[in-house]
């Protein structure tokens, strides 16, 4: 009982909320029905194992999804928090977020470039691995573009900003990746559309297995067990996201 309560709290609550708020019977409801059916039939070990395995699958799915997003967001930590900008002929340090298009900023050897820009003075080798994956530093001179988060390795550079901190190359990459994660492909859209009909159909089939056979004098326990087996076997066929571990 403790294993069932602890293992099923998160996903069973999600399933009930989905049923009440969206009026949809999802995979979680099927698993709840299978768990209740197992306990009613006295199969407590099977019910506990079912709940724990499904809870573990849900947890691994969420962990993988969250870790991917966190790894992407951590790229922003590579960007310097401050920039040395030249204004009115003087060099001053400002937060990188305050850079505007047209600002001239200085990047010394060993420092990261705060935002995209064009070199207006100096030359150096730039490590662009964080953005392009290129392992060999690239030689850059006046008039050439440089990207945010790349590392200046040799000479001092004066760079004219061509993008703000929020609109630089790295920010766009992170935005595109997160957008791609959220976007649903045709296959995923089909799975969700199919699941809205599939889950209620499976639940109805399980109920019919319990209701109809006893009308013809067949033992209820036999078909009740079959109904639970149907719920367990059919439930993992529906996926919530393309990265679902349940697939």
Q: Determine contact, residues 109/122, Cβ cutoff 8 Å.
A: no
Is residue 182 included in any domain, yes or no? yes
Question: Longest C-alpha distance within the chain, in Å?
Answer: 96
The pLDDT assigned to 243 comes to: 39
Structure-block tokens of residue 83: 């920039």
Q: How confident is the model at residue 11 (pLDDT cuts 50, 70, 90)?
A: confident
Residues 6 and 63 in one domain: yes
CA-based end-to-end distance of the chain: 28
What is the reported pLDDT for 239? 43
Q: Catalogue the E-assigned strands of 40-154.
A: 82-87, 90-95, 104-107, 117-121, 124-127, 138-140, 145-146, 151-152
pLDDT over 80 (residue 79)? no
pLDDT tens-digit map of 112-138: 899 999 999 999 999 988 777 777 889
Q: How far apart are CA 68 and CA 64, in angstroms?
A: 6
Give yes or no: residues 156 and 189 share one domain: no
Q: Examine the fold and report which residue of 109, 128, 163 is the final residue of a domain before the chain moves on.
A: 163
Query: How many domains in the chain?
Result: 2
In a domain, 81, yes or no: no
Greatest mean pLDDT among 29-38, 146-155, 164-173, 209-218: 146-155
Instruction: Tell me the residue range of the domain where 157 lies.
Output: 100-163
pLDDT score, position 221: 78
Q: Return the C-alpha torsion angle 26, 28, 34, 38, nearest 10.
A: -160
Query: Does the predicted TM-score (pTM) go above 0.85?
Result: no
Return the residue matching tokens 């045709």.
186
């Amino acid at each position: 009982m403790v294993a069932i309560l602890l293992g099923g709290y998160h996903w069973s609550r999600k399933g009930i909320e989905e049923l009440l708020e969206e009026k949809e019977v999802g995979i979680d409801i099927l698993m709840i029905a299978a768990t209740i059916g197992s306990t009613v039939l006295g199969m407590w070990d099977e019910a506990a194992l079912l709940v724990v395995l499904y809870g573990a699958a849900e947890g691994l799915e969420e962990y993988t999804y969250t870790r991917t997003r966190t790894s992407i967001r951590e790229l922003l930590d590579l960007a310097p928090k401050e920039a040395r900008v030249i204004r009115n002929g003087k060099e001053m340090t400002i937060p990188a977020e305050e850079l505007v298009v047209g600002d001239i900023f200085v990047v010394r050897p060993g420092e990261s470039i705060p935002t995209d820009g064009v070199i207006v003075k100096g030359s150096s080798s730039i490590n662009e691995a964080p953005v392009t994956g290129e392992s060999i530093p690239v030689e850059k001179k006046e008039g050439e573009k440089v990207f945010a988060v790349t590392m200046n390795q040799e000479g001092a550079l004066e760079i004219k900003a061509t993008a703000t901190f929020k609109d630089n190359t790295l920010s766009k990459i992170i935005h595109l990746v997160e957008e791609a994660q959220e976007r649903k492909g045709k296959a995923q859209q089909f799975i969700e559309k199919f699941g809205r009909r599939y889950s209620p159909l499976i639940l109805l089939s399980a109920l019919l297995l319990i209701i109809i056979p006893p009308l013809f004098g067949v033992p209820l326990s036999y078909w009740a067990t079959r109904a639970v087996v149907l719920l367990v076997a059919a439930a993992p066929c529906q996926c919530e996201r393309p990265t679902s571990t349940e697939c």
